[in-house]
Every structure is written in structure tokens, then in C-alpha cells.
Amino acid sequence: MLEVEELSHAYRRPGPNVLEDVTLIVGDGELVSIVGRSGCGKSTLLRAIAGLIRPTSGQIRLDGTPVDGTPDNLAMVFQDYSRTLLPWLSVRDNVALPLRGNGMCRRARRAAAVEALEAVLLADAARQYPWQLSGGMQQRVSIARALAYQPTLLLMDEPFGSVDAQTREDLEDLLLSVRANRGMTILLVTHDIDESVYVGDRVVVLGHSPGRVIGDLAVDLPRQRDQITTRELPEFIHLRGRVGRLIRATTR
């Protein structure tokens, strides 16, 4: 459902490419993790797919349609949840905010927001304000806002990087649950190798300076995953080692 073909990008001309000849195909319903060293262009790739920047060269197609501007069937979750939620709006109204452009009445928007909050186990917080919630709960609100929009493709840029380890594991399991229940396609950018393997169907590794695809590894683990037993599996340990070696090799 997503095709990236020979995509390159430089933020200024003349100047070095951040990404170079990136080709990537993502199937309908896949969860693909994207990893690589800082500065390899992971976030740039997501921004190009989202239509937030126009790549220097190459093509991006979503459901066969070239991306020119931000597609209507796409949502994005950012790392800095504290800057993407409006503190003067309730949790419910933050989630409902993107639906204003869909022609839905206020009652329908609020109902959709509550349904999305139920999906992330935050229905009881609907009338609270973001500043009354913990960091992990605020990120759940950000995820709920994306779900309420009912996107075909969900892009996530380091969404769990600002929370503690236990909350991160809870959010990883939430992501797997949401994906299983809603069947959406997800691209997840992360610096955490273990996370990339734990949640992904595939792990795509970008090399450094400029970013190129240097590895595209299938995750051959049971679909039903558990934070303890899955990470103890020999297959998990072997795959995280392969990903780690690919990333380290880019600096030699």
C-alpha cells in the first residue's frame, strides 16, 4: 500500500543528501520498524511520506496514488507529545480536533474521540486536561487522536522515546493491540533495537550519511508477543544482534 522509489533528499542545494536512493515497499497491514543512527534520515523519510516536505528526487505512492501534499488517509504521532496537545482543551476535545475538517457534527466528533480513547484505555480521562496526565497518558492521547482520524497509514516518529522504561513497554503492547484490532499499516521510527524487533513485522535499517536502506529483515516471531517470553526467545536475540551489527557497521 506504500511505495517509496529511489527517494533522495537534500535540505539545501548545493549540499549533501540526507537520504539517497531509498526504495521501500510496505504491504497493507504491515508494521515496519525503521532504525539507524542519529542523523541517518529516519525522520526525514517519514516527513516525506507524510507530504510535509517535497523530496529532491524519487517517488512516493500511497495506494497507488503519488503523494503530493499531505494525504487524507494518513496520520502521524510525534515524540514530543507535550507540544502537540493543546493544554486549554480537554483530552476529548484534543482527540476530536482533527475531525473538524471531516464534516462531522460536534456530537459525532466527540463520540469518535471517546471511542478512540477507549481503544487506548483512557475513556475515564476524557474530561481532564493534558497537563493533569502523566507523560505516558499524554502519549496515549496523541495515539488516540491519530486513531480517531481512522487513517489507512499511521506514521510514528520516536513515539515512546520520552517516557520511562515500564511505560514504554506498556505503550509497545498498546500499539500491538491497536494494530491487531484495527488492522492499519504502521511505520515506526525508533532508536531502540529491541523495540524495533519486538513490535515489527520487518525491521528496515538505514545506513548513515547519506541514509540508504542497508537491511530489510523479516521478524519471524509469533504474532502474539509478551515483554518477557518474546525477548527471551533465541530468534529474538539473534535478530536484535543482526540489526545491531548492521547499525554499527555503518560507522566503520
Where are the alpha helices (H) located in 72-123, listed in sequence order?
81-84, 91-96, 106-119
Same domain, 90 and 180: no
Mean pLDDT of the chain: 91
More confident residue, 92 or 98: 92
* SS3 assignment for 181-239: HHCCEEEEECCCHHHHHHHCCEEEEECCCCECEEEEEECCCCCCCCCCHHHHCHHHHHH
Same domain, 19 and 114: no
* Last residue within a domain, chosen from 150, 183, 202: 150
Distance CA 250, CA 157 (A): 22
pLDDT at 252 over 70: no
pLDDT at 108 over 80: yes
> Is beta strand 65-66 parallel, antiparallel or unpaired with respect to 74-77?
unpaired
Comparing CA positions, the residue from 207, 206, 183, 203 lying closest to residue 195 is 203
First and final CA of the chain: distance in angstroms?
35
Same domain, 205 and 227: yes
CB atoms within 10 A of CB 150: 14
Same domain, 162 and 146: no
Digit-coded pLDDT (tens) for 161-207: 877 888 889 889 989 988 888 888 999 999 999 999 999 999 999 99
CB of 58 closer than 8 Å to CB of 22:
yes
> Is beta strand 185-189 parallel, antiparallel or unpaired with respect to 31-35?
parallel
Same domain, 124 and 238: no
Backbone torsions φ then ψ of 114, nearest 5 degrees: -65, -40
* Last residue within a domain, chosen from 128, 150, 172: 150
CB of 195 closer than 8 Å to CB of 160:
yes
Give the chain's domain count: 2
| pLDDT band (50, 70, 90) for residue 10 | very high
Same domain, 63 and 181: yes
Same domain, 160 and 201: yes
CATH of the domain at 179: 3.40.50.300
pLDDT for res 251 = 58
Q: What percent of the chain has pLDDT over 70?
A: 99
137-148 burial string, b = 16+ CB within 10 Å, else e? Answer: bbbbbbbbbbbb
Same domain, 116 and 188: no
Same domain, 164 and 233: yes
pLDDT for res 249 = 84
Same domain, 203 and 241: yes
Digit-coded pLDDT (tens) for 28-52: 999 999 999 988 999 999 999 999 9
For residue 63, the SS3 value is coil
Question: What average pLDDT does the segment 66-73 reach?
Answer: 86
Domain residues for the domain of 144 are: 81-150
Same domain, 249 and 159: yes
Same domain, 245 and 191: yes
* Last residue within a domain, chosen from 150, 170, 188: 150
